[in-house]
Amino acid sequence: MSHATSRRDFLRSGALTAAAGCFSFADNFAVAQNSATRGARPAIQLGVASYSLRKFDRAQVIDMMKQLNTPYLNAKDVKDHLPMTPADATQAAVAAYTSAAIKLTAAGAIYFPKDEDADIQQKFDYCKQAGISLIVGAPTHETLPRVEKFVKQYDIRLAIHNHGPEDKQWPSPLDILKAIEPMDPRVGLCIDVGHTVRAGTSVVDAIHKGGHRVFDLHMKDLADASSKESQVAVGDGMMPVPEIFAALHQIGYQGYVDLEYEIHEDDPLPGMIKSFAYMRGVLAGMAHQNQG
């Protein structure tokens, strides 16, 4: 797909736009999955970063995910979404999500500020107990080698999350790649697209350079590529979402694209619904182009 393709090209068909809203909770990517079965494009599975719903408790999160028609959750220890302690609280959260047919795809972001085995091990134990095999994490340069040791010990992957130009550790995915190049292949990237463009890095280039090291992607959109405060619903800003999805296809990405909607924290659902509708429309357009 050409990078010059307009995002409106994916949405101008009324049939495609209607189809984008008709996904069931259990199987919300039928169009993309069917195209993958035909050898066209692998499915891109859209989920939610629970930080988007940080003002709401677990029961409300489950209800909102049903309204968003996605069963995929990158859960964070915020409110009662996925408590790290005590252990029975973690287990209760996992049971609630399992009962609601929600799949926990990752935990985090989890921070690793202490270069101490006990602190790091506690966080890996938490993920093991929750049955989660991917940590979206933020170690420091100093703690990363010790965290890698636990990645190997627990066989739990680590996707390091970049946080933009304010982050003295990992502004861009490219900074992460330099540090992890000699490390275990289970250490990789969670590319936050908003923070990436604010760091002056092309998201598409970061995906291609990351390749098999791209384990997760946090999606958002910005009206101004230099302003964190300019976040808007996905599709309303400057983020090249079709090109990002095409790049994920080109690297054979098998992970999740998690919406991290950080604005309107008291009433995020309208913007999140709009964001999902746009992304689903893009995916439907990609499948349609591939058929034609």
Tokens of 278: 């746009």
Rounded to an integer, what distance in angstroms lies between the CA atom of residue 168 and that of residue 164? 9
Note whether 164 and 189 are within 8 A (CB).
no
Question: If you ran DSSP here, which 8-state letter would residue 81 be given?
Answer: S
In this prediction, residue 45 carries a pLDDT of 95
User: For residue 67, how far is the Cα from the chain centroid?
Assistant: 18
pLDDT exceeds cutoff 50 at 35: no
Cis peptide before 95, with omega less than 30 degrees from 0?
no
Residue 168, number of CB atoms within 10 A of its CB: 9
The topology (CATH level 3) of 7-291 is: TIM Barrel (3.20.20)
Q: By three-state DSSP, how is residue 134 classified?
A: strand
pLDDT digits (tens, 9 = 90+) for 10-34: 444 333 343 334 445 544 434 333 4
* Mean pLDDT, rounded, of the chain: 89
In this prediction, residue 43 carries a pLDDT of 78
Tokens of 13: 């068909």
In this prediction, residue 10 carries a pLDDT of 44
pLDDT exceeds cutoff 60 at 170: yes
Question: Given pLDDT bands bounded at 50, 70 and 90, which one contains residue 289?
Answer: low
Q: For the whole model, what pTM was predicted?
A: 0.87
> Percent of the chain at pLDDT above 70?
84
Residue 272, number of CB atoms within 10 A of its CB: 22
In this prediction, residue 291 carries a pLDDT of 53
Note whether 133 and 156 are within 8 A (CB).
yes
Note whether 284 and 31 are within 8 A (CB).
yes
Domain coordinates of the chain in residue numbers? Answer: 7-291
Least confident of 37-51, 58-72, 94-108, 150-164: 37-51
Q: Where are the alpha helices (DSSP H) in the chain?
A: 14-20, 30-37, 58-68, 87-99, 117-130, 144-154, 173-180, 193-198, 203-210, 241-250, 269-291
